[in-house]
Amino acid sequence: MSDSNILEVKDLQVHFPVTEGLLKRQVGSIAAVNGVSFHIKRGETFSLVGESGCGKSTTALSVLKMQSVLDGQIIFDGEDITHHSPAQMRGIRRKMQMVYQDPFGSLNPRMKIGSIIGEPLRVHGMAGDKTRYHARIASLMKTVGLLEDMAERYPHEFSGGQRQRICIARALALDPKLIICDEPVSALDVSIQAQVVNLLMDLQERLGLTYLFIAHDLSVVRHISNRVAVMYLGKIVEEADRDTLFKSPKHPYTKALLAAVPEADPEVEAQRAEQLIIGEIPSLRSPPPGCTFHTRCAEAMPICKQQAPDCRTDGASSLVCHLYS
């Protein structure tokens, strides 16, 4: 692998058992992530988009090794971490941090803000002496736009946007190389979303961060990402750089997804022919045969029901569809 990649995921498989009855007998399994491959370059923002349940969060958790992986390979910062023990992962976790969707649930209500932000330092024995520790917390708070005297307050005294800033400060404490953001602005009000998106972009510029960004709001994704991968039922169906994907989407699912997102402009909307994607995402317990999207695809062909399409890739972009093979 080349040094320019901070993360490389190859053929990732994550399965969950399906259990039944009182005794929790295993009767099958679902492939929540089913052969996902991607790589993230240093300093870029790579986004995963798709409908809920398609495996975005599970992919993110596997990268953090918070989720056991059935098969595949995860290479982080030149190191194959697929089979790392929890002890080996401790060192790795310093370099990878996560920001969650729910800024209310991800802060311990009984800890003060300063203590929350400093927790990663204490966990990794990097707190140092008291003055250095407090200075570090103060500077982190300043970095994300919080006032220093807020350190003594509890999470419930803050609004959603401020809490997300606290989460970001905590993620920055260990100077990580990669930050995984799982729907970081979905729970925020529109006027607050813009503040957090700007903050993430500023931090990336100043600190040279790399983001794995998970979201379902495509306009935010387009604004912040360099490259985008679209997931459907546990697989990446199209991956391309931002402009290509948004200007000339190729995969029928990508097109449908883009069409479903209303643009905040009535004039544009009036001209847009409404093309609805039919039906809902099928159950992972019994995914359709062939191309898993064929039940909803407007361009499905007879072969799509029988044979799963291969992945065609040219290094910069990839596509999984019979129309392009």
Partner 1 sequence: MNPLLAISDLSVTFATDRGQVQALDGVSLSLNAGETLAVVGESGSGKSVTALSIMGLLGDSGRVSDGSIEFDGEDLTKVSGQRLREIRGNQIAFIFQEPMSSLNPVLTIGTQVAEPIWLHHKKSWSEAFEQAGELLRRVAIPDAVNRLEDYPHQFSGGMRQRVMIAMALACQPKLIIADEPTTALDVTVQAQILSLLKNLTKEANSSLILITHDLGVVARYADNVAVMYGGRVIETASARELYKNPQHPYTEGLMASIPKLDGDPGSRLYTIEGQPPDLSNLPSGCSFNPRCPHAQDKCIMTKPTLSEVAPNHLRACFGYER
Partner 2 sequence: MSEVTLQAGQSNSLLAFHRRMLRDKPLGGIGGLIFALFLFCGIFADLIAPYGMNETDMRRVLQAPSLAHWMGTDHIGRDVFSRILHGAQLSVIIGFLAAGLATVLSIVLGVLTGYFGGKADMLIQRFVDAWMTFPDLVLLIVVVSIVGPGEGQIIIILGCLYGIAGSRIIRGSTIAVRENMYTHAAQSMGASTLHVLWFHVLPNVMPVVIVLFTTRVGAVILAEAGLSFLGLGIPPPVPTWGSMLSGGGRTYMYVGPWLALAPGLALTVVVYSINVYGDALRDMLDPRMRGR
Ligand X SMILES: Nc1ncnc2c1ncn2[C@@H]1O[C@H](COP(=O)(O)OP(=O)(O)O)[C@@H](O)[C@H]1O
Of 100-108, 131-139, 171-179, 267-275, the segment contacting partner 1 by CB under 8 A is 267-275
Instruction: List, in order, residues 6 or more apart from 223 with CB less than 8 Å away.
Output: 197
Residue 60: helix, strand or coil by DSSP? helix
CB nearer ligand X, residue 60 or residue 169:
60
Pattern 137-156, binding to partner 2, x per CB under 8 A? -----------------x-x
Q: Is 30 left (phi over 0), alpha (psi -120 to 50) or beta?
A: beta
Applying CB under 6 A, which residues contact ligand X? Answer: 16, 32, 50, 52-58, 284
Q: For Mg ion, which residue of 5, 47, 57, 162 counts as binding (CB under 5 A)?
A: 57
CA distance 59 to 13: 9
Q: For partner 2, which residue of 14, 49, 54, 64 counts as binding (CB under 8 A)?
A: 64
Give exposure, 282-303, as e/b (b: 16+ Cβ within 10 Å).
Answer: bebeebeebbbbbbbbeebeee
249 binds, among partner 2, Mg ion, partner 1, none (CB under 5 to 8 A by kind): none
Sheet containing 5-20, strands listed edge to edge, beginning at the edge strand earlier in sequence:
25-41, 5-20, 71-76, 79-80
Instruction: List, in order, residues 6 or more apart from 107 with CB less than 8 Å away.
Output: 116, 155, 163, 166, 167
Q: For partner 1, which residue of 263, 285, 305, 325 counts as binding (CB under 8 A)?
A: 263
Least Å distance, CB 98 to Mg ion, is 12
CA distance 260 to 219: 12
Of 32-40, 86-94, 187-195, 236-244, the segment contacting partner 2 by CB under 8 A is 86-94
Q: For partner 2, which residue of 39, 84, 112, 242 counts as binding (CB under 8 A)?
A: 112
Residue 227: helix, strand or coil by DSSP? strand
DSSP one-letter code for 299: T
Q: How many residues bind partner 2 (CB under 8 A)?
A: 31
281 binds, among Mg ion, partner 1, partner 2, none (CB under 5 to 8 A by kind): partner 1
212 binds, among ligand SF4, partner 2, ligand X, none (CB under 5 to 8 A by kind): none
Least Å distance, CB 161 to partner 1, is 7
- Residues of span 222-281 touching ligand SF4 by CB under 6 A: 252
Report how far apart, in Å, the C-alpha atoms of 126 and of each of 45, 95, 136, 264 are. Answer: 28, 14, 11, 46
Say whether residue 47 binds Mg ion (CB under 5 A).
no
- Taking alpha carbons only, the member of 8, 74, 47 closest to residue 240 is 47
Q: Which run of H or E residues covers position 105? A: none
CA distance 4 to 231: 24
Say whether residue 257 binds partner 1 (CB under 8 A).
yes
> By the criterion CB under 8 A, which residues form the site for partner 2?
64, 66, 89-94, 97-98, 100, 102, 105-112, 115, 119-120, 122-124, 154, 156, 167, 170, 174
> By the criterion CB under 6 A, which residues form the site for ligand SF4?
252, 291, 293-294, 297, 299-301, 304, 309, 321-323
